[in-house]
A and B are shown apart, each in its own frame.
Chain A
């Protein structure tokens, strides 16, 4: 049973560029959440998707957007990259109904130069 998978594992971009990160949830899960973890910090909630719609959003600018597909996989898009966007981006999945907690992927390490 595959857990949460994220791609790519590492990415280097230049300031001003755009990036897309991908996440496949754990089998049986229908909800995907994205978190940003800066170096030496705890993860910060970006947003959550369920039924292909953004359901909750953290304190992130509109440059951060997402999408969820019918197969429950998800993408995180960041436009106009800033140096401060360099971080580990974590995807977590869960099932909307039931008592299962979040399952996290290993993350995508984004470096903006």
Chain B
């Protein structure tokens, strides 16, 4: 079955601390992997995507993610979190850039001052 698991429902970090959000996927074909961020009352904004090539991908707002095929993981990282990073983060997998995406349940990030 195709699925995405985000094990952490809620994470709290202090401003300036590093961040890692976990994502594991189950997908039969070669996956296209994405991380989206959603602020309250807003739609989804793409942070970064992975299709092939270098397994460490850079995104917007200082985020990066690493694809590990052996672990079926695509974890999101940021070296120093800002208060404006507080939001809901979604990992997603698909068979193409524009087709059906399967989303995880999301991780809510809270940033302490």
Contact = CB atoms under 8 A, between A and B. Distances in A.
A94 B97 contact: yes
A101 B49 contact: yes
Contact of A43 (B44, B46, B49, B98): B44
Interface residues of B, number: 22
B88 to A, nearest CB: 9
B84 interface: no
Contacts of A66: none
Nearest to A55: B99
A64 to B, nearest CB: 15
Instruction: Pick the most buried of A43, A105, A106: most chain B CB atoms within 10 A of its CB.
Output: A43
A44 B41 CA distance: 17
A100 B97 contact: yes
A42 interface: yes
Which range contains the number of A residues in contact with the other chain?
Answer: 20 to 34
A56 B43 contact: no
A103 B41 CA distance: 16
A104 interface: yes
B103 A43 contact: yes
B52 to A, nearest CB: 12
Interface of B: 4, 34, 36, 41-46, 49, 90, 92, 97-106
Q: Which 8 A-B pairs have the closest CB atoms?
A: A42-B103, A94-B98, A104-B43, A104-B44, A106-B43, A45-B100, A43-B103, A105-B43
Interface of A: 4, 31, 33, 40-45, 48, 56, 58, 90, 92, 94-96, 99-107
